[in-house]
Chains A and B, each alone.
Chain A
Amino acid sequence: MLRVEDTEQAPVEFSAALIAKFDDIKSRYPEGKQKSALLPILHETQAEFGWLSTPAMDKVAAYLDILPIEVYEVATFYTMYFMRPQGKYVLEVCRTGPCCLVGAEKIMDYIEQQLGVKEGEVTADGLFSWRGVECLAACGFGPVLQIGPEYTFYENLTTQSVDTLIADLKAKANN
Chain B
Amino acid sequence: MGRKLLLEHINVPGINTLEVYRQKGGYAAVEKALKTLTPDEVVEEVKKSGLRGRGGAGFPTGMKWSFLAKPEGVPRYLVCNADESEPGTFKDRYLMTYIPHLLIEGMIAASYALGANTSYIYVRGEMMPQIRILERAIAEAKNAGLLGKNIFGTGYNLELYVQPGGGAYICGEETALLESLEGKRGNPRIKPPFPAIAGLYGCPTVVNNVESIAAVVPIINEGGDEYAKIGIGRSTGTKLISASGNLKKPGVYEIELGVPVEEFIYSDEYCGGIANGKRLKAVVAGGSSVPILPANLILKTINNEARLMSYESLSDGGFATGSMMGSGGFIAFDEDQCIVRNTWNFSRFYHHESCGQCSPCREGTGWMEKVLHRLEYGHGKMSDMDLLVDVSKKIEGNTICPLGDAAAWPVASAIRHFRDEFEWHVTNAAEATSRNYGLANYADPLPKVEKAEA
Answer yes or no: are A and B bound together in one complex. Answer: yes
Residues of A close to B294: CB separation below 8 A: none
Residues A79 and B128 in contact, CB atoms below 8 Å apart: no
Residues B353 and A134 in contact, CB atoms below 8 Å apart: yes
- Across the interface, A40 reaches (CB within 8 A) one of B163, B185, B437, B439, namely B163
Which residue of chain A has the shortest Cβ distance to B250 in the bound complex? A140
**A169 at the B interface (CB under 8 A):** no
Residues B183 and A39 in contact, CB atoms below 8 Å apart: yes
Residues A139 and B167 in contact, CB atoms below 8 Å apart: no
Q: Which of B258-266, B344-352, B368-376 makes up part of the contact surface?
A: B344-352
**8 A-B residue pairs with CB within 8 Å:** A28-B161, A74-B183, A97-B342, A101-B331, A118-B441, A132-B441, A134-B87, A140-B252
Q: Assuming A39-B180, A42-B166, A101-B342, is B349 touching A80 (CB within 8 A)?
A: no
Residues of A close to B180: CB separation below 8 A: 39
Residues of B close to A135: CB separation below 8 A: 85-88, 169, 288, 349
In the assembled complex, how far is the CB of residue A110 from the closest CB belonging to chain B, in whole angstroms?
8
Residues B87 and A96 in contact, CB atoms below 8 Å apart: yes
Residues B183 and A139 in contact, CB atoms below 8 Å apart: no
CA distance A5 to B381 in the complex (A): 44
Given contacts A96-B288, A102-B246, A139-B242, 13 further A-B contacts (CB under 8 A): A33-B182, A97-B87, A101-B246, A105-B439, A110-B438, A134-B169, A134-B352, A135-B349, A138-B93, A139-B89, A140-B243, A142-B244, A152-B129
**A14 at the B interface (CB under 8 A):** no
In the assembled complex, how far is the CB of residue B185 from the closest CB belonging to chain A, in whole angstroms?
4
Residues of B close to A42: CB separation below 8 A: 166
Residues B441 and A105 in contact, CB atoms below 8 Å apart: yes
Residues B89 and A141 in contact, CB atoms below 8 Å apart: no
Q: Count residues of chain B with CB under 8 A from any CB of chain A.
A: 63
CA distance A118 to B441 in the complex (A): 8
Interface size range of chain A in the complex:
35 or more
Contact bitstring B112-135, A, C-beta under 8 A = 1, else 0: 000000101000111111000000
CA distance A108 to B345 in the complex (A): 15
**B454 at the A interface (CB under 8 A):** no
Contact bitstring A87-122, B, C-beta under 8 A = 1, else 0: 000000001111011100111111010000011000
Residues of B close to A97: CB separation below 8 A: 87-88, 288, 331, 342, 345-346, 349
Residues A37 and B440 in contact, CB atoms below 8 Å apart: no
Residues B167 and A80 in contact, CB atoms below 8 Å apart: yes
